[in-house]
Amino acid sequence: DSGVTQTPKHLITATGQRVTLRCSPRSGDLSVYWYQQSLDQGLQFLIQYYNGEERAKGNILERFSAQQFPDLHSELNLSSLELGDSALYFCASSDGLSEQFFGPGTRLTVL
């Protein structure tokens, strides 16, 4: 158990819809990272937050947004969903400089 929690575990929705994925980092970790892993693809970095502030942005679509709240949990919002958004979404946390610890992931299926 990495100490990082993600909810929900599975999510099935339709094209055009909007969903919110939630991540709670390990106790004491200020940094949260979001990654997308499409079928048979490597992990794609989406965005990083550090202590509530956006620190780095990767290949995140404009339809996607994220935020980190004062209690350090983070949410990834995906809107106007397309079939190609079906993927595993991972959250990871760290103290900002060292090892990242991964959550179990949320499997999103867009039908």
Partner 1 sequence: KNEVEQSPQNLTAQEGEFITINCSYSVGISALHWLQQHPGGGIVSLFMLSSGKKKHGRLIATINIQEKHSSLHITASHPRDSAVYICAVLMDSNYQLIWGAGTKLIIKP
Give the largest Cα separation in the chain, rounded.
38
Q: Report the candidate in 1, 21, 24, 9 with the shortest Cα–Cα distance to residue 105.
A: 9
Q: How near is the Cβ of 89 to partner 1 at its closest, in Å?
A: 11
Q: Does 33 bind partner 1 (CB under 8 A)?
A: yes
Among all chains, which residue has been given the structure tokens 């900002």? 96
Of 14, 56, 83, 111, the residue at the interface with partner 1 (CB under 8 A) is: 56
Strands (E), 2-111: 5-7, 10-13, 19-24, 31-37, 43-50, 53-57, 64-68, 74-78, 87-94, 101-102, 106-110
x/- mask, partner 1, residues 70-89, rule CB under 8 A, reads: ------------------x-
| Type of residue at 78 | L
Cβ proximity to partner 1: between 56 and 111 the closer is 56
Q: Which stretch binds partner 1 (CB under 8 A): 14-22, 65-73, 77-85, 90-98?
A: 90-98
List residues binding partner 1 (CB under 8 A): 2, 33, 37, 42-43, 45, 48, 56, 58, 88, 90, 96-102, 104-105, 107
